[in-house]
Amino acid sequence: MRKPIIAGNWKMNKTKREALDFTQEIKGLIPSTETVDAVVCSPALFLDALVNETEGTDLKIGAQNMYFEESGAFTGETSPEALADIGVSYVVLGHSERRELFGETDESVNQKVHASFKHNLTPIVCVGESLEQKEADETAQVVTEQVEKALNGLTDEQVKKTVIAYEPIWAIGTGKTASADDANDTCAVIREVVKSRFSEDAAQAVRIQYGGSVKPANINELLGKSDIDGALVGGASLDPQSFLQLVEAGNE
């Protein structure tokens, strides 16, 4: 049985004060990490403050991106070593917005995944097809290639700790959710890829989230599916009570 993981991706939203208000309101209400993992992925600017604020609670903090090198002449980038040093637990890698707007490639995602393991950060690796690819019936092919490239060179043990987020690009921020059956079918494809590239054990252990217009009203149906182990949530994670409801759905 895989433990559900509910992660909020705040994207470029909230000020530091708003972020701290959010965590103060809910940090004591989050169910135990023994039954569900609850993660907030905030802008890099206030990761440090949020890690301090949530220390000793069941709410974990994640970054939304990082570079793969530890240090050096990389102006404007965030070091994985520095993220681990301040106590960040997770890092979102290869989000479609980073791929589309900031030139992230499957190769750089793979380098970052390796860097995350080097520094004991749990990667949340995002994959997903565009509307055009969906309409051309290319979803399985697109996510297969993305998953194979992102996980290339990992050990079985590392794959078991990896979180993969299937986020169809056309469902992000649009209010359009993939049907629970379609989302589950693609998550099952991803699990098959892990099985064929790594092992049955790795495929059974890897956690696969769905993302794209997830909200309290639709999360239960998604989490009820065999291959969906959690959710990566944008808009509906910005409100503390809504986030809490999503985490509680993961705890049921």
d(CA 119, CA 111) in angstroms, rounded, equals: 13
**144 binds ligand 13P, rule: CB under 6 A:** no
Residue 119 known to be catalytic = no
Cβ-count burial 132-148 (b if 16+ within 10 Å, e if not): ebbeeeebbebbbebbe
Residue 167 appears among annotated catalytic residues = yes
d(CA 156, CA 203): 9
Q: Candidates 54-62, 100-108, 186-194, 226-234 — which segment interacts with ligand 13P by CB under 6 A?
A: 226-234
From the list 97, 104, 129, 167, the catalytic residue is 167
Q: Return the residue of 15, 28, 52, 173 that touches ligand 13P, per CB under 6 A.
A: 173
The window from 12-20, 105-113, 201-209, 234-242 that contacts ligand 13P (CB under 6 A) reads 234-242
**For residue 96, which phi and psi values (nearest 5 degrees)?**
-60, -30
Could you please report the per-residue DSSP string of 24-72? Answer: HHHGGGSPPTTT-EEEEE--GGGHHHHHHHHTTSSEEEEES---SSSSS
Q: Of 95, 97, 104, 129, which one is the catalytic site residue?
A: 95
Look at residue 249 and give its three-state secondary structure: helix
**CB of residue 58 to ligand 13P, shortest distance in Å:** 21
**Which residue bears the tokens 């194979």?**
148
Among 80, 168, 235, 250, binds ligand 13P (CB under 6 A): 235
Q: How many CB atoms lie within 10 A of CB 174?
A: 12
**Considering the rule CB under 6 A, would residue 212 count as an interface residue with ligand 13P?**
yes
Q: Is residue 109 at the binding interface for ligand 13P, with CB under 6 A as the rule?
A: no
Q: Which of 181, 244, 240, 177 is CA-nearest to residue 211?
A: 177
Is residue 62 within the footprint of ligand 13P (CB under 6 A)? no
Q: Which of 129, 167, 227, 229 binds ligand 13P (CB under 6 A)?
A: 167
> Which of these ranges, 99-107, 139-147, 167-175, 179-187, lies near ligand 13P under the rule CB under 6 A?
167-175
Point out the residues that are catalytic: 95, 167
Residues in touch with ligand 13P (CB under 6 A): 9, 95, 167, 172-173, 211-214, 232-236
